[in-house]
Structure 1
Amino acid sequence: MTKILAAGDRFIRSSLFRASLEHALGDRPAEIVELEFAWPDEPFGRVGEVDEASGDEDQLIAALEGATAIVTQLAPMTERVIAASPELRLIAVSRGGPTNINLDAARRHGVAVANVPGRNGIATAEMTIGLALALLRRIPLSHASLLDRQWRGDLYRHDAVGAEVSGAVIGLLGAGAVGAHVAKVFRAMGAEVLVFDPYLPAGALEGVVQRVDSIDELFARSDLLSVHARLSDETRHVVNAERLRLMRPGSRLVNAARGGLVDYDAVAEAISRGHLAGAAFDVFPEEPVDFTHPIFTLADQGKDIVLTPHIAGASLQTAERAADGVAEEVRRLLDGEPLRNPLVDLSAAPA
């Protein structure tokens, strides 16, 4: 009987992996073994040579004994773990960025690897829109005032009211799966949506967005700028002091992509001097965050700053899509079909 390890955590539970596997495999006999790690109640980190992992190598090796496949989000699939699991044929990781998988080791040992790209695209897009609306309409500030037992009628003053999406110029730095969804929603709400994305195919989002020729133009024309780029050496601190100075006085910034894309010191300075009206962040340069950073000081002072703890991609549907995605990869492996999203192709791996 085929043994499959469902190595879950407290977001994508092992029981959810099991349910998806049972649905995907139908009547096929399989022994599904469950293992569950403590993330997010305990932070993930580096295990061996892999990053963003949760769990212990020895515990994982023991659970993988005799297993043909593992479905997981954060299990530390290191060289040591893979080498100690000679019957393993597939690692199905339920995330887009498999930093917890040693892909080179999997390739050397002839183990296929598949992932679930785009699993949290809708959730992240919706969170981005929520952050933007909260920032534009000053919702957190208004909420906090009522909790402080204050009735802030002054928030109806002309110099204190928020702004609408309708009629605003919203700039998107990147228009992949997340940015494209954000663009469609903001356009439907009546915004003029600008996009800078050199990788966006010709004709994509036609009738929805206006493409601009440079990043600087995007910053200069946007009332609100939302970041949706991938983090790389080229894009690190793509939002910096120089570009923030190009933005219109009173403009706003949203980042639910990656903390490294933004120079947070520069944003704090721009808000302090009144050039930016505010910012909303779900991601940070360090996570867990440095609470001494000026961004938190400014938020404590009542500036329009909306902060959430990197939860944009976290939804019930994200967990379900992720579990279903890896279960489908296991089914494909066992039925001899090509994997849907291969990172390491078993057919190309050495025997």
Structure 2
Amino acid sequence: MTRVLVLLDDYQDVALGFAPWHELAGWDVRVLHDHHADDDELVAALEDATAVVAMRERTAFPRRVLQRLPRLELLITTGAANASIDVGAATELGVTVCGTRASATAAPELSWALLMSAVRDIPGQQDALRAGDRWQTAVGRELCGRTLGIVGLGKIGTRMAGYARAFGMRVIAWSQNLTADAARAADAELVSKQELFERADIATLHLRLSDRTRHVIGATELEALGTDGLLVNTARAGLVDTDALVAALHSGALGGAALDVFDEEPLPSDHPLLRTPRTLLTPHIGYVTREQYAVFYRDALEDVRAWAHGRPIRLISGR
């Protein structure tokens, strides 16, 4: 009996080229390019799927969806964890959940690219040049001598600290559990959250989203960052109160924001951020690189093979 494997949310139509899926004997490999946000549409698309590969957190798998997929036996997420999958419910329902490895450099490289593009107004200058507007329409800023505030000094935040030092910046950091020793190990200074936003010229976010960190950045922090300050967020949109962010940018209380993540993705065409001034927006491409996709999809293929042989690997437990 042929098993069905579905690769979800292949927006760029590239998934089949990053792993030798044709080597999966006895599997019907299907690719879905369009996002299915509606539960009924998603269930209809996956009703005969034995296994599913989810691209990061593009599609959610809460209990209510998993309960309607009785044929599903294997759910693979790209990356080592996925907050959009109810792993506990999957485990209860007999669905094996596996992950993949992830790049250590894709996300921080994009964070730094957004930071540099914003401080030098690269998108705005290119747009003006192509439109035939005035030559040199803005005055950028240099990074050397300025202060980078890192919220979340884990693997990505530590790389950001290294980039900042290479550009001659001062580095300060904060998170709920960060210690002075851990900050010093990353060549950063531990400060309070309020001090970080008061002292930083640029604040960059690299926390995991949880009940404790949701809206950890609100109006108070944004106003402290100031009229010349820049907020960079490539982590999770829920870390920031979006309404407060939009208000601060419209009022001029915050100098600018460079964002790769949003409360709703894909971002609706009527979302207020698309009409908010002093923003640099990218469509959640922090992990979208050739190198990262090669790891994601090849590992996912290995996960399918291992599971089919009764020896699943990179298991994610819900207990």
TM-score, structure 2 as length reference: 0.81
How many angstroms apart in 1 are the aligned matches of 2:294 and 2:261? 23
In terms of mean alpha carbon deviation, does 238-247 or 72-81 score higher? 72-81
How many angstroms apart in 2 are the aligned matches of 1:114 and 1:209? 35
CA shift for structure 1 position 223: 0.6
> Which residue of 219, 234, 237 corresponds with 2:215?
237
CA shift for structure 1 position 135: 1.0
Q: How does 1:317-336 map to 2 (within 5 A)?
A: 317-333=291-307
Task: Give the conservation status (yes or no) of the 8 Å contact 1:6–1:32.
Answer: no
Task: Give the conservation status (yes or no) of the 8 Å contact 2:48–2:71.
Answer: no
In terms of mean alpha carbon deviation, does 142-151 or 327-336 score higher? 327-336
The residue that corresponds to 1:5 in the other structure is: 5
In terms of mean alpha carbon deviation, does 198-207 or 124-133 score higher? 198-207
User: Which of structures 1 and 2 has the bigger CA Rg?
Assistant: 1
- Once superposed, what is the RMSD of the aligned Cα atoms? 3.3
Gaps of 5+ in 2: none
Task: Give the conservation status (yes or no) of the 8 Å contact 1:221–1:248.
Answer: no
Q: How many residues align?
A: 311
The residue that corresponds to 1:15 in the other structure is: 16
Q: How does 1:196-275 map to 2 (within 5 A)?
A: 196-200=174-178, 203-204=181-182, 206-275=184-253
The residue that corresponds to 1:79 in the other structure is: 67
Q: How does 1:11-90 map to 2 (within 5 A)?
A: 11=11, 13=14, 15-16=16-17, 19=20, 22=23, 30-39=25-34, 43-47=35-39, 56-64=42-50, 70-73=52-55, 74=59, 78-81=66-69, 83-85=70-72, 88=73, 90=74
CA shift for structure 1 position 216: 0.8
How many angstroms apart in 1 are the aligned matches of 2:261 and 2:97? 28
Q: Does 1:106 align with 2:90?
A: yes
CA shift for structure 1 position 146: 0.9
The residue that corresponds to 1:139 in the other structure is: 122
Identity level (%): 30
Structure 1 pair 242/56, CA: closer, same or farther in 2 (3 Å)? Answer: closer
> Which residue of 141, 147, 150 corresponds with 1:163?
141
Q: Residues 132-186 of structure 1: CA distance to partner in whole angstroms, max 9, x if unpaired?
A: 101111112211211220233464xxxxx21122221101111223222222222
CA shift for structure 1 position 32: 3.0
How many angstroms apart in 2 are the aligned matches of 1:202 and 1:339? 37
Q: Residues 46-91 of structure 1: CA distance to partner in whole angstroms, max 9, x if unpaired?
A: 426xxxxxx6434433343xxxx5544359671231x335xx3x43
Gaps of 5+ in 1: 23-28, 49-54, 156-160, 346-351
The residue that corresponds to 1:26 in the other structure is: none
